[in-house]
Structure 1
Amino acid sequence: MTLKPWREIAVPHEDVLKGTFQQAEFAADLSRVHDGTATPEYQNPALFFQRTFITEGMRLLLDSVVKRLAGKGGDPVIQLQTAFGGGKTHTMLAVYHLAKGEAVASDLPGVPAILDAARVTELPRARIAVLDGIKSSPNQPVLRDGQAIRTLWGDLAWQLGKAEGYALVAEADASGTSPGKAVLETLLSRYAPCVILIDELVAYVRQFEEGKVLTGGSFDSNLSFVQALTEALKAVPTAVLLASLPESDKEAGSQRGVRALASLSHYFGRIQALWKPVGTEEAFEIVRRRLFTNINDKLAAEMVCRAFADYYAANSEEFPRETQESRYFERLMRAYPIHPEVFDRLYEDWSSLDNFQRTRGVLKLMAKVIHRLWKDNDKDPLIMPGSFPLEDAETRNDLIYYLPPGWDPVVERDVDGERAETTEIENRDTRLGSVQACRRTARAIFLGSAPCTVNQMVRGIELERVALGVAQPGQQVGIYKDALRRLADRLHYLNSGNNRFWFDTRPNLRREMEDRKRRFQDKEDVFPVIRDRIQKVLASGLFGGIHIFTASGDVPDDWQLRLVVLPPDAAFSRSGQSLAIDRAGEILKQRGEQPRFKQNRLIFLAADYDSVSRLKEQVRSTMAWHTIVSDIKEAKLNLDVFQSRQASKSLEDANDALRRMIRETYKWIIAPMQEARPGKGLSEIRWEHFQLNAGAQNLSQDIERVLKENELLITEWAPIHLAKMLKDWFWKDEVKHVHPLEVWQQTCKQLYLPRLKEDTVFQATLGAGAESRDFFGFAQGREEERYIGFTYGKRTSLIMDDSLLVIEPGAAAAYADALRVAEDAERARAAKTSTDTGSSSGSTGTEGNKVEERPGKEYKPGIAEPAKSAPRTSYYGGIDLDPILAKKQFADLVDEVIQQFTARSGVRVEISVEIRAESSAGFDDGLQRAVKENCNVLKFKVAEFE
Structure 2
Amino acid sequence: MSLKPWREIAQPHKDVLEGSFKQSEFAADISQVAGGTAPDEYQNAEKFFSRTYITEGMRLLLISVAQRLAGHGGDPVIQLQTAFGGGKTHTMLAVYHLASREVSTDKLMGIPPVLDEAGISELPRARIAVIDGIRLSPSQARTYGSITVNTIWGELAWQLLGEEGFALVADSDTDGTSPGKDVLKELLSRAAPCVILIDELVAFTRQLELGKQYKAGTFDSNISFIQGLTEALKAVPNAILLASLPESELEVGGTMGQRALESLETYFARVESVWKPVGSREAFEIVRRRLFESSGERAEIEGISRQFSDFYRQHADKFPVETQSNEYFERLCSSYPIHPEVFDRLYEDWSTLDKFQRTRGVLQYMAIVIHRLWNSDNRDALIMPGSLPLEDTNVRNKSIHYLPQGWEPVIEKEVDGPRSIPADIDGHHTLFGGVQAARRTARSIFLGSAPSSQEQMIRGIQAERVLLGTVQPGQTIGVFEDVLKRLRDRLHYLYAEQDRYWLDTKPNLRREMESRKQNINERDDLIPLLKERVHRSFGRNHHFGGIHVFTPSVDVPDDYGSGPRLVVLPAQAGYSRTDTNQAFGEAEKILRNRGEQPRQKQNRLIFLAPDFDVVSRLKEQGRIFLAWRSIVADIESGTLNQDLSHLNQAKRNRDGAEQSLTQLIRETWKWLLAPVENFLKGRPELNWEVVSIPPTAPNLIQSIEDKLREEEWLVYEWSPIHLRKVLNDWYLKDGVTEVSALKVWQDSCHYLYLPRLVNDQVFRNAISQGVETEDYFAYASGKEGDRYLGFSFGRGSIAPLDDSSLLIEREAAASYAEKQRQAQQPQPGEDTGSNTGSAGGSGGIQTGGGVPVCTPPSVVDDNGSTGATGSDAVKTHFYGTTALDPVKAKMDFATIVDEVVQQFTAQLGVEVTISVEIEAKKKDGFDESLQRTIKENCNVLRFHSSEFEED
The interval holding the TM-score normalised by the smaller chain is 0.7 to 0.9
Match of 2:617 in 1: 614
Which blocks of at least 5 consecutive residues in structure 2 are unaligned?
867-951
Q: How does 1:256-655 map to 2 (within 5 A)?
A: 256-426=256-426, 430-452=430-452, 456-475=456-475, 477-497=477-497, 499-508=499-508, 512-538=512-538, 539=540, 541-560=542-561, 561-575=564-578, 577-631=580-634, 633-636=636-639, 648=651, 651-655=654-658
Cα distance, 1:309 vs structure 2: 2.9
SS at structure 2 position matched to 1:342: helix
Q: 1: distance between equivalents of 2:117 and 2:83?
A: 29
Contact 1:517-1:624 at 8 Å conserved across structures? yes
Tell me, in whole angstroms, the C-alpha distance in 2 between the residues paired with 1:713 and 1:706: 9
- Contact kept, 8 Å, 1:902 with 1:909, in 2: the verdict is no
Q: Judging changes above 3 Å, is the alpha-carbon distance between structure 1 residues 355 and 473 closer, same or farther for their aligned structure 2 residues?
A: same
Between 614-623 and 414-423, the greater mean CA deviation after superposition = 414-423
What is the deviation of 1:549? 0.8
Q: Which residue of 2 aligns with 1:718?
A: 719
With 350-359 and 114-123 compared, the bigger mean Cα shift is at: 114-123
- CA shift, 1:491, in A, is 4.3
Tell me by how many angstroms 1:752 deviates: 3.1
Partner residue in 2 for 1:137: 137
Q: Per the alignment, do residues 909 and 740 of structure 1 end up closer, same or farther by CA in structure 2, a change over 3 Å counting?
A: closer
Distance 1:155 1:805 in 2: 129
Give the whole-Å Cα distance in 2 for the aligned partners of 1:784 and 1:517.
74
**Paired residues of 2:432 and 2:483 also in contact (CA < 8 A):** yes
**Structure 2 counterpart of 1:761, one-letter code:** V
Q: Are 1:225 and 2:228 an aligned pair? A: no
Q: Distance in 1 between matches of 2:653 and 2:455?
A: 28
Q: How far off its partner does 1:278 sit?
A: 0.8
Could you tell me whether the CA contact under 8 Å between 2:731 and 2:739 is conserved in 1? yes
> For the residues of structure 2 that align with 1:590 and 1:753, how far apart are their CA atoms?
19
Give 3-state SS (helix, strand or coil) of 2:572's partner.
coil
Q: Assess if the C-alpha contact under 8 Å between 1:133 and 1:199 holds in 2.
A: yes
Q: Rate the CA distance shift 1:900–1:300 in 2: closer, same or farther, 3 A.
A: closer
Deviations along 1:865-895, whole A, 9 cap, x unmatched? xx9x9997763379xxxxxxxxxxxxxx9x9
Cα offset, 1:108, TM superposition: 1.7
How far has the Cα of 1:770 moved from its partner?
2.4
AA at the equivalent of 1:806: L
CA distance in 2, matches of 1:657, 1:900: 62
Is residue 793–residue 851 contact of structure 2 (8 Å, CA) maintained in 1?
no
- Equivalent residue of 2:348, what SS? helix
Partner of 2:241: 241
Q: Distance in 1 between matches of 2:285 and 2:480?
A: 30
C-alpha separation in 1, matches of 2:60 and 2:848: 123
Q: Is the 8 A contact 1:901 1:907 kept in 2?
A: no
Change (3 A) 1:594 1:260: same
Question: Does the 8 Å contact 2:248/2:354 carry over to 1?
Answer: no
How far does residue 749 in structure 1 lie from its aligned partner after superposition? 3.5
Offset, 1:90: 0.8
Letter in 1 for 2:209: E
Alignment RMSD (CA, Å): 4.0
What's the secondary structure of 1:604's corresponding residue? strand
- Preserved contact between residue 353 and residue 453 of structure 1 (Cα < 8 Å): no
Task: Please state how far the C-alpha of 1:673 moved relative to its aligned partner.
Answer: 2.5
Of 417-426 and 49-58, more deviation after overlay is shown by: 417-426
Q: Secondary structure at the match of 2:688?
A: strand
Quickly say closer, same or farther: Cα 1:914–1:286, change in 2 above 3 A.
farther
Tell me how far 1:54 sits from its aligned partner. 0.7
Q: Work out the CA distance in 1 between the residues paired with 2:859 and 2:397.
A: 104
Contact 2:133 2:199 in 1 (8 A): yes
The answer to whether residue 671 in structure 2 is matched with residue 668 in structure 1 is yes
Q: Is the 8 A contact 2:795 2:851 kept in 1?
A: no
- State the secondary structure of the residue aligned to 1:280: coil
| Conserved 8 A contact 1:194-1:239 | yes
What are the Cα deviations for residues 615-637 of structure 1, in whole angstroms up to 9, with x where unaligned?
A: 33433343344434444554555
Give, as a single letter, the amino acid of the residue that structure 2 aligns with 1:343. F
C-alpha separation in 2, matches of 1:217 and 1:335:
49
TM-score under structure 1 length normalisation: 0.81
Identify the residue that residue 93 of structure 2 maps to in structure 1. Answer: 93
Using the alignment, how far apart are the partners of 1:398 and 1:270 within structure 2? 41
Alignment CA distance shift 1:645-1:910 (3 Å): farther
Matches of 2:865 and 2:8 in 1, distance apart? 109
Q: Which residue of structure 1 aligns with residue 745 of structure 2?
A: 744
Deviation at 1:498, TM superposition (A): 6.0
Counterpart for residue 729 of structure 2: 728
1:219 to 1:791, Cα distance in 2 relative to 1, 3 A: closer
3-state DSSP of counterpart to 1:242 = strand
Tell me whether 1:705 sits opposite 2:717 in the alignment. no
Give the Cα separation in 2 of the matches to 1:725 and 1:904. 26
CA contact (8 A) 1:901 1:909 kept: no
Q: In the TM superposition, what whole-angstrom CA distance separates every residue of 1:202-240 from its partner, at most 9, and x where no partner exists?
A: 112222233333333333333343334434444544443
Q: Quote the Cα distance in structure 1 between the aligned partners of 2:834 and 2:65.
A: 147
CA-to-partner distance for each residue in 1:281-311, whole Å, 9 max, x for gaps?
2111111111112232321211222233333
Decide which of 815, 834, 839 is 1:876's aligned counterpart. Answer: 839
Q: Name the counterpart of 1:842.
A: none
SS in 2 for 1:611: helix
2:759 aligns with 758
Residue 433 (structure 1) shift? 4.9
2:809 and 2:199 map into 1 onto residues whose CA distance is 118
Q: What are the superposed Cα offsets for residues 664-692 of structure 1, whole Å, 9 maximum, x if unpaired?
A: 22212122233324x36444x33222111
* SS of the residue 1:806 aligns to: strand
Map of 1:925 onto structure 2? none
SS of structure 2 residue aligned to 1:268? helix
C-alpha change, 1:297 and 1:574, in structure 2 (3 Å) is: farther
Q: CA deviation at 1:200?
A: 1.2
Q: Deviations over 1:485-537 (max 9, x none)?
A: 45455544444556544444444455555554444222211211121122223
1 CA distance for matches of 2:427 and 2:550? 35
Report the AA paired with residue 354 of structure 2.
D
SS of 1:270's partner is helix
5+ residue gaps, structure 1, are 836-866, 879-892, 916-946
Identify the range of structure 1 (452-461 vs 905-914) with the bigger mean alpha-carbon deviation. Answer: 905-914
**C-alpha separation in 1, matches of 2:811 and 2:146:** 142
> Residues 510 and 209 from structure 1, CA distance in 2 versus in 1: closer, same or farther, beyond 3 angstroms?
same
Query: What SS does structure 1 have at the residue aligned with 2:271?
Result: coil
SS of match in other structure, 1:689: strand
**Segment drifting more, 792-801 vs 134-143:** 792-801
168-177 or 537-546, which deviates more: 168-177
Contact 1:767 1:798 (C-alpha < 8 Å) held by counterparts: no
Aligned to 2:695: 694
Moved more, 214-223 or 141-150: 141-150
Check 1:46–1:707 CA distance in 2 against 1; reply closer, same or farther (3 A cut). same
Aligned equivalent of 2:869: none
CA distance in 2, matches of 1:907, 1:153: 139
Note if contact 1:513-1:624 (Cα within 8 Å) is conserved in structure 2. Answer: yes
Q: What CA distance in whole angstroms lies between the structure 1 residues aligned with 2:489 and 2:670?
A: 24
Deviations 1:125-165 (A, max 9, x none): 43433222222222233444475544333433444445565
Other structure's SS at 2:673 match: strand
Shift of 1:190: 4.5
* Paired residues for 1:782-821 under 5 Å: 792-813=793-814, 819=819
Code of the residue aligned with 1:60 in structure 2: it is: L
Partner of 2:948: none
Give, as a single letter, the amino acid of the residue that structure 2 aligns with 1:94.
A
TM-score (norm 2): 0.81
**Cα distance between partner residues in 1 of 2:31 and 2:689:** 88
Structure 1 residue 702: Cα displacement: 1.0
